[in-house]
Structure 1
Amino acid sequence: MADAAGSRARYRRILRFAARYIAQAWWFELFLPRIGLARFAARGRAARLRTIARSFHGLAVSLGGLMIKVGQFMSSRLDVLPPEITKELEGLQDEVPPVAFADIRALAEAELGLPLEQAYAWIDPAPLAAASLGQAHRARLTDAEAADTGFADVVVKIQRPGIDEIVAVDLAALRKVAGWLSRVRIVADHVDLPALIEEFAQTSQEEIDYLHEAANAERFAENFRDDPRVDVPEVAWERVTGRVLTLSDVSAIKINDVAALKEAGIDPAQVASEFANVMFDQLFRDGYFHADPHPGNIFVTPMSTQERPFRLTFVDFGMMGEVPERLRRDLQQLVIAVASRNGRQLVDSIRDVGVLLPSADTVELERAMTALFARFGGMGFAELQRVDPREFQDFATEFGDVIRSLPFQLPENFLLIVRAVSLTSGLCSSLEPEFNMWDAVEPYADQLIRGERGNAVTAVAREAVSVAAIAARLPRRLDDFVTRAEEGRLSIDSPRLDQRAKRLERLGRRAVSAVLFAGLFIGGAVLRSEDPIWGIALMVSSAVPFLHAVFGGFVDRRGL
């Protein structure tokens, strides 16, 4: 009865907190600006943000559970969230109160089926780390177990007693809050919050299954088996259950301990660059990535070689993400667009990834992205902080309504990608204030581009598919053109109208060639079985319109 009462109290406390600050945000950020009091609302914004962050800090520390996870995410967003929030939530993970060792012992012995003195030669009652869902203790394997595994010093991760019920209550509260926010049009138009909460719920359930985490650790280690940049702890499978996980002890310098890094002769800026590259490899090369790369989960291990002064050691594999092959290719194109500051390609990539719905009118968005790249492209986090805030305000005034009106959404399986990229960006900025993510993205994009150029057949095929896609979309685009003209929404925003008209004319000829090629080739293939001579003749003749459709674009580009 007491546990049920405690769960209800926890649930109500989370909802009261959310309701209070959702109402406050609506009043100051939506209502007051609509009645002409935007300056008044902005005047006290910094103090309000500090109050919200301070209140959430206290809530998360006292409740623990998934609230700590939410706080970790917000504290890492140095690149996006205001310092009033991120600074107030710093060190939140380190403030989680530990569970009494007697309770930890009882749970571990029940799981392992024998006393801890028999399971381990030694275990430290003082926790090495107390996290939101479990806590870690240093230990040593028995001689027999050490002989089998090849290592003796271990870290034993033991789940917090009753964490299953706590996670269930927190998820119920988050589902309720998501339902409230889904009634706000500006939220509902851009994010399917209930779906995101269900994705988060699945991830949370996997995170409290230590058998699942052990398998994740081995899969991650396999991906970096021959990579000297990365180290991963080994699993002692004889001492693993659903609630107890035993791994080799790989503790080293915490990645955000700048003073300790410098004392060990390690350049924090180099660590930031290496860390960003390793995370890019996980996202774009392997398609399997650590989705919780906060400072408590990554160590920097000093090395004795001059060539490689350190390596990155990842721990805690409860939250992992996968990037399907198609999405990975689309993300690669997005990286190339960002690195090349190509506004049109960026918009196309955002659409392909699924963040922007296909029905979106992107003319103004392309113009906004081009303007954004022209003014702020290539700037690091520190440089952006030195930009006059009025410039950002001017940009927001000019393009804010355009961007808000577009049908953006957060697609399925994208939440963990956003989390990983956000934590990476924030951690790199904390390691090196002058860190420029562009410097990490551009070499990676160059590598992706070289990989694309190295396959000429793929390039030709992609061009052919592009032409076919243009031909397929042409009737709809022409219909949209006529509709805009009839409704008086047609505008000309370029002085080079003649060039664009010629380019459109050539594009039309290429589209006709693509259709002609398809007709001749398919007709020849069908006719070949009955009349081989005419069938082959038609298929051979289809090569002429095919070459024009594919290579006409290259000729056009050289001519312009």
Structure 2
Amino acid sequence: MTELPRKAAARTARLAALPLGYAGRSAIGFGKRLGGRNADAVLSEVQQRTAEQLFRTLGELKGGAMKFGQVLSVMESALPEELAAPYREHLTALQDSAPPMPTATVRQQLTTHLGADWKERLVWLDGAPTAAASIGQVHRGRWVDHATDDGAERDVAVKVQYPGAGEALMSDLRQIARLARGVAPVFPGLDIKPLVAELQARAADELDYHLEAEAQAAYAEAFADHPDIVVPAVVSVGEQVLVTEWLDSPHSLAHVIREGTQEERDHYGELFVRFLFEGPRMTGMLHADPHPGNFRILPAADGGLGRMGVLDFGAVARLEGGTMPPATGRLLRIALEADPDSLVAGLREEGFIRDKIEVDPEMVLSYLAPFVEPAAVERFTFTREWMRAQFERVNDPRSEEFALALKLNLPTSYLLIHRTWVGAIGMLSQLNATAPFREILEQSLPGFADD
């Protein structure tokens, strides 16, 4: 067996062990309940141990396993604190790092995808990666552009895709789709299968570095003169190698989540929201990978609060008509004005409620509270407690909101937008940030401020 198939087989075996581990812990838990232990306490213990195994396993793998883990990690704020606290370290680790690729493999990838003369342009390359993600890792380097007259050197970030990343990504996602029941106990009420299906649909785009370079170049040009947000320019691209300008940033938003002051949380939370909504208005695309590792803290020269850098444009939604759907802002405004009948009519028109499906308009209005409440006040504070309450309210099988959710439909054109918004709300809740959410929507979300 060659090295790549051997690794793939090992990865599959480790993923396959997840539901088996849950089944074993459930059996032990059943025995404890027979022995008189409180049922809720036993369930909490089973969930905690399952979560620890899940995120430890995902953190040690690459490909789709790590990508899936990163998507789940921004939902950590929705979990009950007694479950979230013991394995928060595993979750945040997924947002910033993964085991490195050997230097010889990196150099082989550079030769294959930048050409045999890559050393003439990339005159220095750090052997150790500065960051790793689900399908590739990043090295710092120094680039000389011989096409310019001065031949000046500049620091660059060299993103190199893992060999076989495409095969591993799709294999992992297929395996996780089959093993959804082993993940479900960690996020009770979260429907895992549609999440994995959407990740599978986007996988090809994320593997295409030419597409990523095109999106990043558009964002870099649009934000070139922005006072608070920086997107590195694209320097060179090959099929599995992407070279961009270097961002001198010691930390990501994961650091602010762990250790930031309230001033830092509010500052970077507001910049994140502004980027999220200004990006589509300025580029016609939505950056659709809202996990903290993609957002970098750039130190200010005076020691104050700095700008925010944005990385990783492999997952973007290329918006129809070059803008966020105007119905999004319009429906949000209708919900904010507490007009449930008009809200239901608008949702039907957009395909969120199918024909002949009857719903209670007041219940629909209540169900959409997580999207409406932040825009109802001048400044809204996102907290883990608020996120947790919203998550539990709509995902409790005994609640009316849960029954309503089974009647609603998410149109294909909104899948990535919806996942991005939910992920963004999760990240803001992790930050515990206060932001002028309503003002930003009025400035940048089509349909929201229209008469």
TM-score of Structure 1 vs Structure 2, range by shorter chain: 0.7 to 0.9
Q: What is the CA distance between 1:398 and its match in structure 2?
A: 5.8
- Which amino acid in 2 is paired with 1:61? G
The structure 2 residue matched to 1:134, chosen from 133, 136, 152, is 136
Which SS does the other structure have where 2:91 is aligned?
Answer: coil
1:10–1:169 Cα contact (<8 Å) kept? no
Q: What is the CA distance between 1:169 and its match in structure 2?
A: 1.6
Tell whether 2:331 aligns with 1:334.
yes
Separation in structure 1 between the aligned mates of residue 179 and residue 257 of structure 2, nearest angstrom: 40
Question: Could you say what the CA RMSD is over the residues aligned between the two structures, in angstroms?
Answer: 4.4
Judging changes above 3 Å, is the alpha-carbon distance between structure 1 residues 78 and 398 closer, same or farther for their aligned structure 2 residues? closer
Which SS does the other structure have where 2:78 is aligned?
Answer: coil
1:256–1:427 Cα contact (<8 Å) kept? no
- Which amino acid in 1 is paired with 2:109? L
2:161–2:241 Cα contact (<8 Å) kept? yes
Tell whether 2:12 aligns with 1:14.
no
The structure 2 residue matched to 1:318, chosen from 308, 314, 317, is 314
1:289–1:321 Cα contact (<8 Å) kept? yes
Q: What is the CA distance between 1:320 and its match in structure 2?
A: 0.8
Q: Can you give the 5+ residue segments of structure 1 that lack an aligned partner in the other structure?
A: 29-38, 182-186, 454-560
Which SS does the other structure have where 1:98 is aligned?
Answer: coil
If you compute each CA radius of gyration, which structure gives the higher value, 1 or 2?
1
The CA deviation string for residues 40-75 of structure 1, in whole angstroms up to 9 with x for no partner, is 654433323222221111221232211111111111
The CA deviation string for residues 417-455 of structure 1, in whole angstroms up to 9 with x for no partner, is 233223322222233x2x357x413652488678522xx
The structure 1 residue matched to 2:297, chosen from 287, 295, 300, is 300
Separation in structure 2 between the aligned mates of residue 276 and residue 67 of structure 1, nearest angstrom: 28
Q: What is the CA distance between 1:201 and its match in structure 2?
A: 2.3
Q: How many percent identity over aligned positions?
A: 26
Matches within 5 A, 1:389-404: 399-400=400-401, 402-404=403-405
Which SS does the other structure have where 2:383 is aligned?
Answer: helix
1:368–1:399 Cα contact (<8 Å) kept? no
**Number of residue pairs aligned between Structure 1 and Structure 2:** 425
2:77–2:429 Cα contact (<8 Å) kept? yes
Higher relative contact order (CA 8 A, sep 6+): 2
Q: What is the CA distance between 1:7 and its match in structure 2?
A: 2.9
1:76–1:427 Cα contact (<8 Å) kept? yes
Separation in structure 2 between the aligned mates of residue 40 and residue 410 of structure 1, nearest angstrom: 38
Matched with 1:105 is 107
Q: What is the CA distance between 1:305 and its match in structure 2?
A: 8.8
The CA deviation string for residues 267-312 of structure 1, in whole angstroms up to 9 with x for no partner, is 3312212211221233567541111132211123345599x95332
TM-score, with length taken from structure 1: 0.64
Separation in structure 1 between the aligned mates of residue 113 and residue 404 of structure 2, nearest angstrom: 53
The structure 2 residue matched to 1:168, chosen from 148, 154, 170, is 170
Tell whether 2:94 aligns with 1:96.
no
Separation in structure 1 between the aligned mates of residue 256 and residue 71 of structure 2, nearest angstrom: 21
Q: What is the CA distance between 1:353 and its match in structure 2?
A: 4.0
Structure having the larger proportion of residues in strand? 2
- Which amino acid in 2 is paired with 1:76? V
Structure having the larger proportion of residues in helix? 1
TM-score, with length taken from structure 2: 0.77
Matches within 5 A, 1:350-361: 350-361=347-358
Matched with 1:156 is 158
Matches within 5 A, 1:55-74: 55-74=53-72
The CA deviation string for residues 355-387 of structure 1, in whole angstroms up to 9 with x for no partner, is 332332122x424635986xx956744395599
1:330–1:352 Cα contact (<8 Å) kept? no
The CA deviation string for residues 374-424 of structure 1, in whole angstroms up to 9 with x for no partner, is xx95674439559999x969x9856246425x4223321433223322332
The CA deviation string for residues 240-290 of structure 1, in whole angstroms up to 9 with x for no partner, is 210111111123242343399979x97331221221122123356754111
